[in-house]
Structure 1
Amino acid sequence: MRRLWLVTKLILACVVAGSCLAGMALPAAGGLGLLSNATGDAVHSLALALERGKPPYASVLEATDGTPIAYLYDQYRLDTPSDRISPNMKVAMVAIEDKRFYSHHGIDPAGTMRALISNEASGETSQGASTLTQQYVKNYQILVTARNNKKAQEQARALTAVRKLREARVAVELDSQLSKDEILTRYLNLVTFTGNTDGVAAAAQVFFETTPDKLTVTQAALLAGVVNNPVAYNPWNHPQAALQRRNAVLDAEVSIGKLDPQIADQAKKQPLGVVADPRVPASDCVGVKPGFGFFCAYVRDYLRSAGFTTDQLRTGGYRIRTTVDAKLTGLTKGAVDANVPPRTPGIANTMVVIRPGSDSHEVAAMVANREYGVDAAAGQSMTNLPVEVSDPFGAGSIFKLFTTAAAMEQGKVGLNTPLPNPNSQCFMPPIVDEYTVCHTVQNDYVGYPNPITLENALATSPNVAFTDLELRAGLPSVLTMAYRLGLRRTLAASEAGSPPTTDPADERSQKAEYNSPQRDYFRNNPSFTLGVSAVSPLELANVMATLDDSGKWCPPTPVRQVLDHDGRPVALPHQECEQVVAPALADTVIRGLAKDTTEGTSATSALKAHWTRQLAGKTGTTEYNESVGFVAGLRHYAVSSLVFADGSAPAPICASKPPRLDSDDSGCAGAFGGSLASPPFFAAFGKLLGNSPDSGLPAADPGYLDARPHGPTAPWVVGTAVQHAQDTLRQAGYARVDVSPQESDSPKGTVLGQSHAGAFPTDTAITLIVSAGHDVPR
């Protein structure tokens, strides 16, 4: 039987030697009966896939300075062109795996014959018969074609004559289509070097913390050697075997005349030189560099919503140029960790920084004292705390901004307008019935002036004055202003922060705080201006970006550009910015917030931090101190810092160092926005800005210093039907109304956005972005 198998092998070798070289014109039917015309078609298809296809490449997320911050991948592989692979690497691989690589045509008849006879004589596989091209074919099938199919992978590894002949035919066809350097480069980019490291670029980084163009003779020899058996020659688990294998590669290089024997002898005396602690980057956003996990998840989800599939992101080899500032991320992460240590039970501290711009609001930093991950005991969270409507208790008095802007737009107040401000007052909601009772609102302390100017009220935050102003402006107008300025996902969420629950089987569906979006829930609830509902830290920062940007709202974006595997830009959906309030109003609100760090609620922390710059700031504290916040506006940065109870058993946050929860109801002095949420901002931005010039704040517009009409006002019509929206705008005097269709999941004809709202001349051209469903012409 063994002799018969030897004869069969020799026949196969002869077929390979005689027929393959003649264009692989193997008979469709013959004595061996192994290959059919259908098989020939499959061979051609596989060869074509190899010629045109690409293996799975990791996508890389880059900071604005080009440094990688995270990877998304199924196989850790980074594409590297030929000119960026060291010649040492190419020589080593050819020497040890396929000495006649440059002389054969995809298969090596002499090598095949020699290996068959040697292996048969020894009774084991002591010599390999596959060329680099054949190995490339085999590995491509395992790592690419069948990467999600274990059965197909087993077939690609099967030690059968059929498989070897098919592999040989594909190799010959591939050799006729690609240059030797193309084949070798593709091979080096494909093969596995350790169990979770594929391709030479990833291997160079993991083994030596270098790049493939800088691989030395000894480094290249080690990498070339491990490919034959990544487990047996793993240099960390089997250093002696790896050393012997590396030296065998050096000898092979000498044997083909590519390495001087004396240099080889010196190289053999060198240690393996691998890093002591090999680090393979995380394959997703869990486990990335500290401070970047939540941002990574935001980018990933942002691109998914833009139409990328998870598989595309993990295999497409995209270069994702993000908006994140690595230095600023380090400063903000350090600041929140120092403010609320990461393992503090039940307390989260988020900070989001946005760069306002005329056509984009770029997310420059997005951090929390938590890390993105599954280990809650280590202070990790899989909820994207900076992005989601994650602060369930609200931002406190920061919401008084919306009341201010709404009332100011209506001409009811200006910065100098005195507001009635008794220490307490009982307010009725706008809609009452015979059972309605008034709700008493109190100021935090009795020392407030009565009346108090709006500017001083913004700095010191009396509750009574703003509740009265909210009711005079009208709750619908205040809620709409909050949406316009940026609280869009927030107002679509329930008062608790979750999507509204309408399932009758869920008992929460019977409660208004769970079954209604905030935009509806608060239409008859004056507590909105006190900031008592769930909020997104990202959207809160974008509110300040809108005001900083003279009233122009842009969707926050974490991505500047996506390049595909070949370096070509990938088109991303674009949402237009909107001028949601008049520039004069926005600039006046910003100027009205300037006293917070000098005479207001953050003044003590600013003084401790030696902060002297002009700053638009506002603090917030909820009634029971379960959440505190601070927002800041500079010329080039808009910031939110929120500290809130995020555990399953929330409680008031104590003003201790470090902060803790009053979980046992023993009582403590509660934390405030000025004392707990603002310090990380001052710490991070004091270091960032240093002694650079103060960029200042815009001047208040004279027309908004006192209560007065501001002329025609373009009503906000987003969310209505397009015909109704056009009629409403024209009735308000705005005749130039254009419509721009946009693909959307919203019902066809729904207004998704508008270019201008607020006090603008009636000859202003207003563009409505209108949902076309999924029927937009392409």
Structure 2
Amino acid sequence: MRFPRRLLRPIGVLAGLCVLLGVVTAGMVFPLAGGLGMLSNEAGDSVTSSSVDLVNNPAPLTTTVTDSDGQPLAYLFDQNRTEVPNEQISPAMKAAILAIEDRRFYDHEGVDWQGTLRAVVANSASGDVVQGASTLTQQYVKNYMLYVDAQTEAERLKATEQTPARKLKEARIALQLERQLSKDEILNRYLNIVFLGNGSYGVAAAARTYFNTTPDKLSIPQAALLAGMVRSTTQFDPVQNPDTATQRRNLVIDQMRQQGMIDDAQARQATAAPLGVADPLVRVPNGCNGAGDTGFFCKYVVQYLTEAGFTEEQITRGGYTIRTTLDRRAMEQVKASLNKEVPPDAPNVANVMSLVQPGKEAHRVLAMGSSRTFGLNADEYETSYGLPFQPVNLGAGSTYKIFTAATALEKGLGINYSMQVPPSGYASPIYVDGSGRPIPVGNASEGLPARMSMTDALAQSPNTAFIKLEEFTGVPDVVDMSVRLGLRSLATTPFVDPGSGKRTDRSIAEVIKEQELASFTLGVTPTSVLEMANVGATLFSEGTWCPPTPIESITDANGENVPITEEPCEQVVDPGLANTLVHGMSKDDINGTSAAAAQAAGWTRPMAGKTGTTQQHKSAAFLGAIPEMSGAVITFDNGNSPRPLCDGGGAPFACGEGNIFGGKTPARTWYGAVKPLVEGTPPTPLPPTDPRYLDGGAESRIPDVVGRAAGDARGELEGAGWQVSTRTVDNRAPEGTVVGQEPRGAALPGEAVTLQVSSGTVPAPPPLPTGPPAEGPPPGPDGGAPEGGEPEGGPPPDGG
């Protein structure tokens, strides 16, 4: 008997379905039967395992990064998907998907044989696919295999291959799944996993992408459009193919009407409605490139989580809500001040800043940014390098003198110690070149006093004084102090050989300590702006170091808290040392190297600060801190071949001989960002000092012999282990009386004490001037040192 050609296709399909029905029935009833390899024990175990995975393992979800107030900063995803519960999906959406994909969903048990036969007949009669042959349960299984299990292109092809073996496994899993989950749960999971085009996975993402709405508000025509796209997201794309998308939508509406889900009036109204698709589509940017000015902070969050043990797959598929420490107001002020001083399109110049909140239990990162725009288009002056937290190779200059001062305090000196200030050209025995020859050290300002307190030295920053102090502290201990207070990357970043350019297996800190490079106190070492800001936070936390954390909390898709492993806080220096050093840094804005910038900003609050400028003025830095926050700024040439920078009050620019200082652009940036954040609030006083660190320990204290007879004074000092020299001065005190000593109060071990002994005579007064008074040199800003008086001397031995 011969059949008409139009009947051959459905008859063949029916025959195949009968075979498939028999195989599936045999597989379910006799799972241990032989004959077909697919029905072996191994296959049965595979099916059971897959159904268990479908029940227990969620689909990939979008991770949302928010600021401290919970407002989104960025979205990180492999598939843009947000799960919503059943009650948050509109009845119209559920009805539309059932009408076009599985009208007998609530009647079958996972595989709808009646519906499959009906679909074959209906599709063959129309010559088109008007009804689906797979149930929603089967489609959910296929989608799960495609979007969750498959990790490679080969696995994705296997998950969608049109073979009896895959169809059999899909059917068997569907039958098992229906025994484990309710119909409503399966429908909900399907609507959350299905791909709906234009990067939208699941109904929540699709509702936002196409209609800028939420799934609970989807109307009948909107739901019908989305349901119709399941068959082909390309063919029925409403943006690229609006006519075919409209036809498909109207077909779904008609199916809803025929099945009694909507009445005739609703169908007519829905069919007449425009597509109403958003123009442009509401796309969610993926990754930190979509985070705008917070892109650098976003990248730091991802790096921080990775170092804490989170994998990229967890971050981009886990559906976490990562609430960060970022303060929006602080971020806005930081970015505004950075851009004011250095425009984003300034050639070869980057201005970067990080802001950290002190605390004994956590150091929260409030903001970080760069004058450079975060992005991938280098032609538009964009960069994705982590400028505010990755080390800046050009260094931070004299800000490193903080570590030498801290080490000296720990070794017994006090912040009131009268430091020696050798004149420019000082040849230190520890500051030498590769051949061991001393390199003359210079100061930016001449005419400095021969001695000044450590507090004044921190404010006015004479290089020779700190090289001299480093002779006492030793280089290795200063390096260790810098790591303890916050420059942790120095101990983990491999040292790069300056000759070969190759990384070594030793850290920067190890090499500097081994070679005892005295240039360390002058800040020639690669420096992380974030870590330098954290140094200030450590000092204002009474010597407690904590990792600079960007994480407030992490919750999973179910709202459960997700723990994160962070380094514990640790007491790295004595609280009294930290508090006293804060006071020792408190004159920078008054008569120190940032005084001009402070005055211009109208700064009046107590603070701790330190400027820095590196060799040849290729970079400059400022560390400023108050009890509420600590911030660091570095301005540098970020070109491939850094040049000196000039700063004439406008945007810095590359030039032949630089003149930028830490007291210029970096300090102006800090004051410009921080002042608006604290304006209108009462100033917080600095913490109390500790007498031990004011005047030093017993080992550094010198007996005060002023007023004693010279012989007795010498005997007492030499008995205490000090070398003594004397010089006679004219004075009205009795002859032989000590009228002065230098140093007085404290001294370095082995340092000679000079006694001034009275001659017993009064010098004749000088003659009165007969002409007009001579004008002296003008004072520095605010009566203090010249702005930015801290650039280093000759080239450091490590080539920095």
**Paired position in structure 2 for 1:245:** 248
- Find out whether 1:454 has 2:454 as its counterpart: yes
For 1:33 and 1:412, how far apart are their aligned partners in 2? Answer: 87
For 2:45 and 2:425, how far apart are their aligned partners in 1? Answer: 85
**Paired position in structure 1 for 2:145:** 141
Aligned pairs for 1:653-672 within 5 A:
653-656=645-648, 658-662=650-654, 665=656, 667=657, 670-672=659-661
- Find out whether 1:355 has 2:347 as its counterpart: no
**Paired position in structure 2 for 1:500:** 495
Deviation of the 1:40 alpha carbon: 4.6
For 1:326 and 1:103, how far apart are their aligned partners in 2? Answer: 53
**Paired position in structure 2 for 1:716:** none
Whether the 8 Å CA contact 1:630–1:642 is kept in 2: the answer is yes
Aligned pairs for 1:510-525 within 5 A:
517-521=508-512, 524-525=516-517
For 1:292, give the aligned amino acid. T
The C-alpha deviation readout for 1:348-399, integer Å capped at 9, x for no partner, is 221111122212212222222234443322223343222222x222111111
For 1:223, give the aligned amino acid. L
Deviation of the 1:521 alpha carbon: 2.2
- Assess, with a 3 A threshold, how the Cα gap between structure 1 residues 270 and 590 changes in structure 2: closer, same or farther: farther
For 1:340, give the aligned amino acid. V
Whether the 8 Å CA contact 1:137–1:170 is kept in 2: the answer is yes
Say which is worse superposed, 268-277 or 539-548, in terms of deviation. 268-277
Deviation of the 1:658 alpha carbon: 4.8
- Find out whether 1:603 has 2:603 as its counterpart: no
**Which residue, 163, 168, 171 being the options, matches 2:171?**
168
For 1:335 and 1:270, how far apart are their aligned partners in 2? Answer: 50
Max Rg structure: 2
- Find out whether 1:551 has 2:543 as its counterpart: yes
For 1:245, give the aligned amino acid. R
The C-alpha deviation readout for 1:541-595, integer Å capped at 9, x for no partner, is 1111110101111122222333344443333334222211111111111122222
**Which residue, 618, 622, 629 being the options, matches 1:630?**
622
For 1:677 and 1:706, how far apart are their aligned partners in 2? Answer: 32
The C-alpha deviation readout for 1:257-285, integer Å capped at 9, x for no partner, is 33354344444444333332235334333
Query: What secondary structure, in the 3-state scheme, does the structure 2 residue paired with 1:597 have?
Result: helix
For 2:407, give the aligned amino acid. A
Aligned pairs for 1:567-582 within 5 A:
567-582=559-574
- Assess, with a 3 A threshold, how the Cα gap between structure 1 residues 618 and 18 changes in structure 2: closer, same or farther: same
The C-alpha deviation readout for 1:713-754, integer Å capped at 9, x for no partner, is xxxxxxxxxxxxxxxxxxxxxxxxxxxxxxxxxxxxxxxxxx
Query: What secondary structure, in the 3-state scheme, does the structure 2 residue paired with 1:350 have?
Result: strand
Whether the 8 Å CA contact 1:343–1:377 is kept in 2: the answer is no
The C-alpha deviation readout for 1:174-213, integer Å capped at 9, x for no partner, is 2222111111111111111114221122222322333333
- Find out whether 1:154 has 2:171 as its counterpart: no
Deviation of the 1:437 alpha carbon: 2.7
**Paired position in structure 1 for 2:188:** 185
For structure 2, the 5+ residue unaligned runs are: 701-800
- Assess, with a 3 A threshold, how the Cα gap between structure 1 residues 323 and 27 changes in structure 2: closer, same or farther: closer
**Paired position in structure 2 for 1:469:** 469
For 1:154 and 1:116, how far apart are their aligned partners in 2? Answer: 25
Aligned pairs for 1:619-768 within 5 A:
619-656=611-648, 658-662=650-654, 665=656, 667=657, 670-709=659-698
- Assess, with a 3 A threshold, how the Cα gap between structure 1 residues 636 and 90 changes in structure 2: closer, same or farther: farther
For 1:112, give the aligned amino acid. T
For 1:500, give the aligned amino acid. F
Say which is worse superposed, 163-172 or 473-482, in terms of deviation. 163-172
For 1:629 and 1:143, how far apart are their aligned partners in 2? Answer: 49
The C-alpha deviation readout for 1:282-310, integer Å capped at 9, x for no partner, is 4333x121123222222222222222222
**Paired position in structure 2 for 1:744:** none
What TM-score, normalized to structure 2? Answer: 0.80
For 2:301, give the aligned amino acid. V
Whether the 8 Å CA contact 1:458–1:618 is kept in 2: the answer is yes
- Assess, with a 3 A threshold, how the Cα gap between structure 1 residues 433 and 359 changes in structure 2: closer, same or farther: closer
- Find out whether 1:61 has 2:56 as its counterpart: no
**Which residue, 304, 328, 331 being the options, matches 1:329?**
331
Query: What secondary structure, in the 3-state scheme, does the structure 2 residue paired with 1:631 have?
Result: strand
**Paired position in structure 1 for 2:526:** 534
For 1:709 and 1:265, how far apart are their aligned partners in 2? Answer: 96
Aligned pairs for 1:384-533 within 5 A:
384-389=386-391, 391-414=392-415, 416-430=416-430, 436-493=436-493, 499-501=494-496, 507-508=500-501, 517-521=508-512, 524-533=516-525
Query: What secondary structure, in the 3-state scheme, does the structure 1 residue paired with 2:615 have?
Result: coil
Deviation of the 1:526 alpha carbon: 2.5
For 1:12 and 1:611, how far apart are their aligned partners in 2? Answer: 85
The C-alpha deviation readout for 1:502-542, integer Å capped at 9, x for no partner, is 79xx82469x9x97624432553332222122111121111
- Find out whether 1:204 has 2:199 as its counterpart: no
For 1:236 and 1:485, how far apart are their aligned partners in 2? Answer: 57
For 2:48, give the aligned amino acid. H
**Paired position in structure 2 for 1:612:** 604
RMSD value, Cα:
3.2
- Assess, with a 3 A threshold, how the Cα gap between structure 1 residues 657 and 445 changes in structure 2: closer, same or farther: closer
For 1:436, give the aligned amino acid. G
For 2:403 and 2:116, how far apart are their aligned partners in 1? Answer: 79
- Assess, with a 3 A threshold, how the Cα gap between structure 1 residues 155 and 578 changes in structure 2: closer, same or farther: closer
Deviation of the 1:217 alpha carbon: 4.0
- Assess, with a 3 A threshold, how the Cα gap between structure 1 residues 162 and 420 changes in structure 2: closer, same or farther: closer
- Assess, with a 3 A threshold, how the Cα gap between structure 1 residues 117 and 28 changes in structure 2: closer, same or farther: farther
Whether the 8 Å CA contact 2:647–2:653 is kept in 1: the answer is no
For 2:576, give the aligned amino acid. A
For 2:63, give the aligned amino acid. S
- Assess, with a 3 A threshold, how the Cα gap between structure 1 residues 62 and 81 changes in structure 2: closer, same or farther: same
For 1:679, give the aligned amino acid. R
For 1:51 and 1:478, how far apart are their aligned partners in 2? Answer: 58
For 1:404, give the aligned amino acid. A
For structure 1, the 5+ residue unaligned runs are: 494-498, 712-778
Say which is worse superposed, 337-346 or 628-637, in terms of deviation. 337-346
Deviation of the 1:655 alpha carbon: 0.7
For 2:395 and 2:9, how far apart are their aligned partners in 1? Answer: 78
For 2:681 and 2:273, how far apart are their aligned partners in 1? Answer: 50
Whether the 8 Å CA contact 1:410–1:710 is kept in 2: the answer is no
What TM-score, normalized to structure 1? Answer: 0.82
**Matched residues, number:** 694
Say which is worse superposed, 613-622 or 156-165, in terms of deviation. 156-165
Deviation of the 1:154 alpha carbon: 2.8
Whether the 8 Å CA contact 2:200–2:206 is kept in 1: the answer is yes
**% identity of equivalent residues:** 41
Whether the 8 Å CA contact 1:429–1:524 is kept in 2: the answer is no
**Paired position in structure 2 for 1:95:** 99
Whether the 8 Å CA contact 2:645–2:659 is kept in 1: the answer is yes
Deviation of the 1:12 alpha carbon: 4.4
Aligned pairs for 1:295-334 within 5 A:
295-334=297-336
- Find out whether 1:213 has 2:205 as its counterpart: no
Deviation of the 1:675 alpha carbon: 1.5
For 2:547, give the aligned amino acid. P
